[in-house]
Amino acid sequence: MPAIAEPYRIKMVEPITMTTREQREAAIRAAGYNTFLLRSDDVYIDLLTDSGTSAMSDRQWSAMMMGDEAYAGARSFDHLVESVRENYGFPLVCPTHQGRGAEHLISKILITPGQHVPGNMYFTTTRVHQELAGGTFHDVIIDEAHDPASRHPFKGNVDLDKFQALIDEVGADQIAYINVAVTVNMAGGQPVSMANIRAVREICDRYGIILWSDATRLAENAWFIQEREDGYAGRPVAEIVREMLSHFDGITMSGKKDCLVNIGGFLAMRDEAILTKARELVVVYEGMPTYGGLAGRDLDAMAVGLREALDDDYLTHRIGQVRYLGERLQAAGVPIVEPIGGHAVFIDAAAFLDHLSQDELPAQTLAAEIFLDSGVRSMERGIVSAGRDADGNNRYPKLELVRLTIPRRVYTNSHMDVVADSVIRVFQRRREIQGLTFVYESPTLRFFTSRFEPL
């Protein structure tokens, strides 16, 4: 790829702190070796997440000034609905405070306790809400997704045979819906092809199964379709997004990613009956159906951001920046998930620290080591994130990863160079690194708040 500069210029800056090794040692100890528990002031380059960390545009900030803060019937809601209709093609919208608010509502609406919910790999909050609603999650992603070295171009695809086998086993009427995430976060930000979405739609039509999407990173998914799938080269991402979404009955959206906002989410759908139920629940858990837990200004920022995120030049730079970091690591022999995904570079911590067993928490350990080296904050996505099963046993995921997640429109490639240099330094002295063990394990979504100490 030729060098691609940012398709924007910087209008406002936020100073960040540089720290000494001693300060970082104190900070990670105080945080119980969990990067989620670090204070942001102790972090130099923050690659914890791409969620809610985007820089908004001058247009979004302007729209915020025009937000309508009426309790009911605010015009900011109308702006969001118009933008979702125009860009995503769904006529009906129910805002929520963020993605998991939408997951909570849709799980309660569609799942009858005892039912099954297939999906292309789990996501932490998605699966928790499905389980809290009485559902059982089934992973129906293709096997390649669980292999960090497989170079399949659409590693997020649903395995149609696995989906069919589940239908044969439990019966279509016991499947609440199938949830297809675009892209698949836990697999490394991997896309789903249009052909696969179409094929899943056919099966759903045959059996009368609802096809839902976790559309959190839909713009990045569409960019990969444009890059890799026959017939889509040269077609605008905005057009590909509309075609992708035309196959789904509805979506849950975390606006904190591909709507380029710091907070917000929504459900969007075609079926009035689902909207009616969503409105019944949203007033209990989030707020009035026209604001769903957000300020009017947040709805306006999201209405503008979701359009901006479909811009081809923006996406080429965004995914190009992720790739730039990944390729620097690859060139130094650091094991990463391939192909490089849309929102993050995922280091294969099991291969990086192959002298540690999974019980010695390689990914948790590596995230702490990278912070100690340079103040770069990353996130564990391995055995700690996977949690325990219904019987209380640790789940042992095949992927034991550290995620270097790139916020949208925030850092430059000079920052990416600092990150790459740090990871490479840690890689060169990897044999000296010892594992971690739990000192406090929180009962749900344990990766957020658990504490650890060195073995």
CA–CA dist 224, 325 (Å, integer)? 18
Sheet harboring 250-254: ordered strands across? 92-96, 265-269, 250-254, 211-214, 178-181, 116-119, 136-139
Applying the rule CB under 6 A, the residues between 265 and 284 that interact with ligand F0G are 265
Size of the site for ligand F0G (CB under 6 A): 15
The upper half-sphere exposure of residue 132, i.e. CA atoms within 13 Å in the direction of its Cβ, equals 16
**Residue 266 belongs to what H/E stretch?**
strand 265-269
163 is a catalytic site residue = no
Query: Which is closer to ligand F0G, CB of 118 or CB of 265?
Result: 265
- For the chain, report the end-to-end CA distance as a whole number of angstroms: 43
* 98 interacts with ligand F0G by CB under 6 A: yes
Question: Are 455 and 436 a contacting pair, CB within 8 Å?
Answer: yes
Applying the rule CB under 6 A, the residues between 331 and 350 that interact with ligand F0G are none
Question: Are 155 and 184 a contacting pair, CB within 8 Å?
Answer: yes
x/- mask, ligand F0G, residues 212-251, rule CB under 6 A, reads --x-x-----------------------------------
Q: Which of 289, 261, 349, 297 minimizes the C-alpha distance to 72?
A: 289
Span interacting with ligand F0G, options 66-74, 92-100, 232-240, 278-286, rule CB under 6 A:
92-100
Query: Which is closer to ligand F0G, CB of 256 or CB of 409?
Result: 256
CA–CA dist 176, 174 (Å, integer)? 6
Please pick, from the candidates 256, 297, 377, 415, the single residue that binds ligand F0G as defined by CB under 6 A.
256
Task: Give the dihedral of Cα atoms 275, 81, 258, 243; nearest 10 deg.
Answer: 80
The distance of closest approach from Cβ of residue 96 to ligand F0G in the complex, given in angstroms and rounded to an integer, is 9
Q: Quick count: other Cβ atoms within 10 Å of Cβ 429?
A: 10
DSSP summary character for residue 354? T
Span interacting with ligand F0G, options 20-28, 93-101, 113-121, 144-152, rule CB under 6 A:
93-101
x/- mask, ligand F0G, residues 384-423, rule CB under 6 A, reads ----------------------------------------
Query: Which is closer to ligand F0G, CB of 100 or CB of 415?
Result: 100
Q: Which among 155, 201, 217, 257 is annotated as catalytic?
A: 257
Query: Which is closer to ligand F0G, CB of 96 or CB of 115?
Result: 96
Q: Which among 123, 154, 324, 352 is annotated as catalytic?
A: 123
Please pick, from the candidates 24, 32, 43, 49, the single residue that binds ligand F0G as defined by CB under 6 A.
49
* 190 interacts with ligand F0G by CB under 6 A: no
Which residue sits closest to ligand F0G, CB atoms considered? 99
307 is a catalytic site residue = no
Query: Which is closer to ligand F0G, CB of 99 or CB of 326?
Result: 99
Cβ-based burial of 353 (10 A; exposed 0-12, middle 13-18, buried ≥19) = buried
CA–CA dist 294, 48 (Å, integer)? 24
259 phi and psi angles, rounded to 5 deg: -110, 5
The distance of closest approach from Cβ of residue 214 to ligand F0G in the complex, given in angstroms and rounded to an integer, is 5
Q: Which among 96, 124, 126, 365 is annotated as catalytic?
A: 124
Please pick, from the candidates 181, 222, 260, 294, the single residue that binds ligand F0G as defined by CB under 6 A.
181
* 99 interacts with ligand F0G by CB under 6 A: yes
Query: Which is closer to ligand F0G, CB of 191 or CB of 435?
Result: 191
71 is a catalytic site residue = yes
Please pick, from the candidates 57, 60, 87, 126, the single residue that binds ligand F0G as defined by CB under 6 A.
126
77 is a catalytic site residue = no
Cβ-count burial 155-178 (b if 16+ within 10 Å, e if not): bbbbbeebbeebbeebeeeebbbb
Residue with tokens 């057009």: 239
Q: Which among 214, 249, 298, 348 is annotated as catalytic?
A: 214
Question: Are 267 and 250 a contacting pair, CB within 8 Å?
Answer: yes
Query: Which is closer to ligand F0G, CB of 167 or CB of 366?
Result: 366
Question: Are 101 and 160 a contacting pair, CB within 8 Å?
Answer: no
Q: Which residues bind ligand F0G (CB under 6 A)?
A: 49, 51, 98-100, 123, 125-126, 181, 185, 214, 216, 254, 256, 265
| Catalytically annotated residues | 71, 123-124, 214, 257, 381, 447
